[in-house]
């Protein structure tokens, strides 16, 4: 009974603390992800007051957080939108892939983390945070801008790339053979293809299975289906996160809208626990040694994301300021980068320093992203306005 009381007290303190941090983030206009990570680091291994009584709950809750993050991401797109976005943005997506995976892979190789560490770091520096980007675009009133469909198309391409990347990473981290890795990728591609076909042709039936006029029944069906699909996908070496994402794609119409509305509070709760758990597993004493590397990596990948958005928007005939806004909007990294780092570190196949570097990097990028999106255009206009005077 004493242990249960301690666990409840620690868990209550964590949830209340997350609420305080979320409020603070809202007041200063940034994503709460950096503050959640810092909170986890402060109370994890080597932190101020290590928490040990909540690990069984937080481990499972963090897994559910990943599932809900990807489920709601899938609910934002229909299968038709994914296919159309892929056709329209594949060239820009390839440019994005090349420009933003190379810095992370090179850093891992230079640090001696080997091919597995390079594969993990490539994903960490590649993927933009869809959640942060969407929030920033909404907050700045840019959802109707001409460059916004370009930004969303790149995000769609990245999400599809993750559906292929995560099974490969999972197989490599598990130490399977080349044949086993190829089998995992083949199964992943087959599952993705089947789900997209089902979503395109029979999406209404999938929606009907989980839909219900009763909110309680609807929530139970939806959450149950998400966890079932995630578990089956994980067993098939496809990744639980990808399974949840594909289920979200298959649900469409008013069912998807209702599901998003009902699941958002749950997603925010469990996702916050996920970020805290990652911070809890990061030794704060390992962050200062990798901070210079994180700063250099942040500077390089800020530039590569801006170049990505600029190039993609130029392909669609967007004016210069729109290109700059598109590039700046893509800078933020967040939830997916931490998901990848969490998979890599928990497997034991990579150096524990990767968690510290990933934490420092995401802290920087989750803050720099919204700031870059806000100040890039005003700063550029100010520089253009002063240039003729300097020349005179």
Helices (H), 46-129: 55-75, 79-110, 114-126
Amino acid 392: pLDDT? 38
C-alpha distance from residue 37 to each of 53, 54, 219 (Å): 19, 17, 29
For the segment 251-289, what is each residue's pLDDT rounded down to a tens digit? 877 888 888 888 888 888 887 887 787 777 777 777 888
Q: What is the largest CA-CA distance in the chain?
A: 79
| CA separation for the pair 99, 1 (Å, rounded) | 54
Its sign, for the CA torsion 162, 117, 240, 192, is: positive
3-state secondary structure 140-159: CCCCCCCCHHHHHHHHHHHH
Residue 357 in tokens: 């570097």
pLDDT digits (tens, 9 = 90+) for 310-354: 999 998 888 889 999 999 999 988 778 888 888 887 777 777 788
pLDDT at 150 over 80: yes
Range among 97-101, 131-135, 196-200, 357-361 with highest mean pLDDT value: 97-101
For residue 348, CA distances in Å to 175, 191, 241, 353 come to 11, 28, 20, 11
Task: Please tell me the distance from the alpha carbon of residue 103 to that of residue 114, in angstroms, as a whole number.
Answer: 14
Has residue 229 got a pLDDT over 70? yes
| Lowest mean per-residue pLDDT among 14-28, 68-82, 131-145, 177-191 | 177-191
- Split at pLDDT 50, 70, 90, the class of 391 is very low
Question: How many angstroms separate the CA atoms of 270 and 186, rounded?
Answer: 31
Tokens of 349: 């196949």
Q: How far is CA 114 from the centre of its chain?
A: 24
In percent, the amount of the chain with pLDDT more than 90 equals 16
What does the mean pLDDT of the chain come to?
A: 80
* 8 A C-beta contact, residue 349 and residue 119: no
Position 53 scores a pLDDT of 59
pLDDT exceeds 70 at position 85: no
Q: Taking residues 230-234, report their average pLDDT.
A: 79
**Domains of the chain and any CATH numbers:** 57-378 (1.20.1530.20)
pLDDT category at 390 given cuts 50, 70, 90 is: very low
Quick one: which of 297, 268, 279, 295 has its CA closest to 359? 279
Structure tokens at 291: 């901070």
62 pLDDT above the threshold of 80: no
pLDDT beyond 60 at 90? yes
**pLDDT at res. 306:** 94
DSSP-derived 3-state class of residue 213: coil
* Integer Cα distance of 81 and 67 in angstroms: 22
Helix runs in 316-352, H state only: 320-329, 335-347
Of all residues in the chain, what percent are helix, strand and coil, respectively (each to 5)?
85, 0, 15
Whole-model pTM over 0.75: no
- Supply the pLDDT for residue 239: 64
Tell me the pLDDT tens digit for each residue of 166-209: 777 877 887 765 566 667 667 767 776 776 677 667 767 788 88
């Amino acid at each position: 009974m004493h242990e249960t009381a301690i666990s409840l007290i620690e868990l209550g303190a964590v949830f209340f603390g997350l609420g305080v941090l979320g409020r603070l983030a809202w007041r200063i206009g940034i994503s709460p992800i950096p503050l959640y990570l810092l909170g986890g680091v402060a109370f994890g291994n080597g932190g101020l007051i290590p928490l040990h009584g909540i690990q069984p709950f937080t481990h499972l809750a963090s897994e559910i957080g990943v599932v809900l993050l990807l489920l709601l991401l899938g609910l934002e797109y229909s299968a038709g939108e994914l296919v159309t976005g892929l056709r329209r943005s594949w060239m820009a997506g390839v440019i994005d892939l090349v420009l933003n995976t190379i810095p992370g892979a090179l850093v891992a190789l230079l640090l001696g983390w080997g091919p597995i560490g390079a594969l993990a770091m490539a994903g960490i520096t590649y993927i933009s945070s869809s959640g942060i980007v969407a929030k920033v675009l909404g907050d700045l009133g840019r959802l109707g801008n001409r460059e916004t469909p370009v930004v969303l198309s790149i995000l769609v391409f990245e999400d599809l790339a993750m559906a292929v990347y995560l099974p490969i990473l999972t197989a490599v981290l598990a130490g399977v053979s080349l044949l086993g890795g190829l089998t995992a990728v083949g199964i992943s591609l087959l599952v993705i293809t089947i789900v997209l076909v089902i979503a395109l042709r029979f999406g209404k039936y999938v929606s009907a299975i989980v839909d219900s006029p009763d909110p309680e029944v609807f929530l139970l069906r939806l959450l149950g289906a998400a966890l079932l699909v995630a578990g089956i996908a994980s067993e098939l070496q496809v990744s639980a996160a990808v399974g949840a994402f594909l289920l979200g794609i298959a649900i469409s119409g008013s069912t998807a809208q209702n599901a998003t509305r009902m699941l958002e509070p749950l997603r925010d709760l469990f996702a916050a626990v996920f970020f805290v758990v990652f911070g809890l597993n990061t030794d704060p004493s390992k962050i200062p040694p990798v901070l210079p590397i994180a700063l250099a990596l942040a500077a390089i990948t800020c530039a590569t994301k801006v170049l990505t958005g600029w190039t993609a928007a130029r392909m669609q005939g967007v004016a210069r300021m729109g290109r700059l806004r598109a590039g700046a909007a893509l800078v933020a990294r967040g939830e997916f980068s931490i998901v990848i780092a969490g998979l890599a570190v928990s497997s034991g196949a990579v150096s524990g320093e990767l968690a510290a570097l990933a934490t420092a990097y995401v802290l920087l990028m989750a803050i720099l992203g919204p700031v870059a999106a806000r100040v890039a255009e005003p700063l550029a206009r100010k520089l253009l306005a002063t240039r003729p005077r300097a020349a005179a």
